[in-house]
């Protein structure tokens, strides 16, 4: 039997397959297409007890290369790619040089740059069990969060679990299910308000918080944020020296839906926000 093993890691906003190919005996490995979520890939290497000796890129699309620099730095290794990638970039350069327009050209990297810069925090407000399935209800929902594969919660996004002391008014009740997997649902009055299925949440209780990472590209504006006139979440920024700063409190959306305000700036001024 061969000593070689392959571990598949699904990473990034478009669920790219990253492969860790390793020798079970020597624990030497290569990472093929580390497309994103560098910390996750490095943690997986640690779990497997393997050491990367090279990073291999099948091609240069953003969803296959984003975590390559982090992996290379972590192990002090080189990144290898096909010479055809150089040819592709050279062709792109020649096409730009051939244009009659000679001004400055800016390439909009969009989600690639901005996605890691934002996170959405929501709190568990209730738990229940139905036909053996554990459910937790959060105070947000699909009107606030949108990610690739969210439809019917088919994929697990970049998410963190933050156990938290009970908030005032929340019952100190041991939820059903213990350390089992949970389906996370929002608080909208629709059965479609399902965020994540079968998410392991050890010791979950009301008052705990879930953090959806990598939503900095468009935040809630990419979702159905005016649906059912639910409030928009507050917006905060974080700086290492200054800490958290409130940019805008939670906003009711009913004035936009019923037409009582014509312009967002007028509403913000009226509410002193």
Quote the CA–CA distance of 152 and 160 in Å, as a whole number.
Answer: 20
- Residues 150 and 140 sit within 8 Å (Cβ to Cβ): no
- What 3-state DSSP class applies to 114? helix
- Residues 247 and 235 sit within 8 Å (Cβ to Cβ): yes
- What 3-state DSSP class applies to 262? coil
Plot region of 15 (φ>0 → left; ψ -120 to 50 → alpha; else → beta): left
What's residue 24's pLDDT? 92
Closest to 29 measured CA to CA, from 50, 6, 48? 50
For 74-96, write each residue's pLDDT tens digit.
999 999 988 777 776 677 778 87
What's residue 150's pLDDT? 67
For 149-195, write each residue's pLDDT tens digit.
666 566 778 888 888 765 555 455 444 445 578 999 998 888 888 88
CA 113, 209, 220, 267 torsion: positive or negative?
negative
**Number of CB atoms found within 10 A of residue 210's CB:** 24
What's residue 258's pLDDT? 79
> What is the gyration radius of the CA atoms in the chain, in angstroms?
23
Q: In the predicted model, what is the mean pLDDT of residues 48-71?
A: 88
Q: In the predicted model, what is the mean pLDDT of residues 13-22?
A: 84
Burial class (CB in 10 A: 0-12, 13-18, 19+), 224: middle
Predicted TM-score (pTM) above 0.75: no
Residues composing the chain: 273
| Token pair for 119 | 């996170």
Closest to 9 measured CA to CA, from 35, 29, 28? 35
What's residue 154's pLDDT? 66
Quote the CA–CA distance of 181 and 111 in Å, as a whole number.
Answer: 30
**Number of CB atoms found within 10 A of residue 85's CB:** 15
| Token pair for 219 | 């935040």
């Amino acid at each position: 039997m061969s000593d070689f093993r392959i571990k598949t890691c699904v990473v990034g906003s478009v669920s790219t397959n990253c492969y860790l190919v390793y020798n079970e005996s020597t624990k030497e490995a290569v990472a093929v297409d580390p497309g994103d979520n560098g910390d996750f890939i490095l943690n997986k290497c640690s779990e497997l007890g393997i050491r990367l000796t090279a990073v291999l890129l099948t091609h240069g699309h953003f969803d296959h290369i984003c975590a390559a620099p982090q992996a290379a730095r972590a192990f002090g290794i080189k990144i290898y790619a096909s010479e055809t990638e150089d040819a592709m970039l050279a062709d792109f350069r020649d096409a730009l040089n051939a244009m009659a327009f000679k001004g400055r050209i800016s390439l909009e990297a969009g989600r690639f740059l901005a996605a890691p810069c934002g996170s959405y925090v929501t709190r568990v407000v209730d738990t229940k069990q139905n036909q053996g399935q554990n459910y937790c209800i959060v105070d947000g929902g699909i009107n606030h969060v949108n990610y690739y594969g969210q439809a019917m919660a088919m994929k697990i996004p970049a998410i963190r679990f933050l156990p938290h002391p009970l908030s005032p008014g929340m019952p100190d009740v041991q939820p059903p299910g213990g350390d089992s997997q949970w389906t996370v649902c929002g608080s909208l009055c629709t059965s479609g308000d399902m965020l994540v299925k079968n998410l392991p949440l050890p010791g979950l209780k009301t008052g705990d918080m879930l953090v959806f990472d990598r939503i900095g590209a468009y935040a809630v504006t990419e979702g159905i944020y005016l649906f059912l006139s639910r409030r928009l979440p507050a917006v905060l920024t974080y700086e290492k020296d200054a800490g958290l700063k409130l940019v805008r409190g939670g906003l009711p959306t009913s004035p936009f839906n019923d037409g009582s305000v014509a312009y967002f700036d007028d509403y913000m001024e009226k509410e002193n926000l």
